[in-house]
């Protein structure tokens, strides 16, 4: 897999050029790119995108969401996709994504969003893991400690422009 560097649109053809200079020519192309890639201008368009599209890209926003994946020795939670607790304010809202349902591995991923996600990154690994376990134990007082965990940080990585991949997550947590 290669990163797209340039998209050239001619009268009857489209040429997509990747980082190593290799070009692919087609009659047409459907471009689906994460907003962060467009905002960072990581793809050169020829001709340039019309101003109304540049303005729309500039006006669109997206928030931060951090993930802390935890692998356990066994499943102690119900067979549902999402688990959550209601926080006293919207600041500390988060939820757990149950990857066991999809993968068979006893893995939960804590999802934290917004300003809280960025503040969570400022904690030490141990403090963040303790916070997440505190949230989990509010739902499951007998929850076991994780045997492994991994962070997927977005706030501190200003060049993080791509989507989260469950396969990457699973390889980091289960290995």
**pLDDT tens-place string over residues 102-117:** 999 999 999 887 778 8
**pLDDT tens-place string over residues 17-69:** 999 999 999 999 888 887 878 888 889 999 999 999 999 988 887 777 788 89
Confidence band, pLDDT 50/70/90 cuts, at residue 84 = confident
Give the three-state DSSP class for 115.
helix
Give the three-state DSSP class for 34.
coil
* pTM recorded for the entire structure: 0.60
Look up residue 93 and give its DSSP letter: -
Are the beta carbons of 69 and 171 closer than 8 angstroms?
Answer: no
Are the beta carbons of 9 and 47 closer than 8 angstroms?
Answer: yes
Half-sphere exposure of 38 (CA within 13 A, CB side): 17
């Amino acid at each position: 897999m290669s990163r797209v560097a340039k998209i050239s649109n001619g009268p009857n053809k489209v040429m997509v050029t990747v980082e190593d200079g290799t070009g692919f020519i087609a009659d047409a192309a459907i471009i689906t790119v994460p907003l962060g890639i467009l905002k960072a201008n990581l793809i050169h368009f020829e001709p340039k995108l019309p101003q109304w599209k540049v303005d729309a890209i500039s006006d669109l926003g997206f928030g931060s969401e951090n993930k802390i994946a935890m692998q356990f020795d066994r499943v102690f939670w119900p067979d549902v996709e999402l688990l959550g607790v209601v926080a006293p304010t919207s600041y500390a809202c988060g939820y757990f994504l149950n990857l066991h349902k999809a993968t068979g591995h006893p893995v939960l991923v804590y999802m934290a969003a917004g300003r809280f996600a960025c503040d969570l990154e400022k904690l030490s690994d141990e403090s963040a893991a303790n916070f997440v376990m505190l949230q989990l134990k509010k739902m499951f007082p007998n929850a076991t400690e994780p045997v492994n965990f991994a962070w997927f940080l977005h706030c501190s990585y200003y060049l993080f422009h791509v989507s989260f991949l469950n396969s990457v997550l699973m390889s980091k947590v289960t290995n």
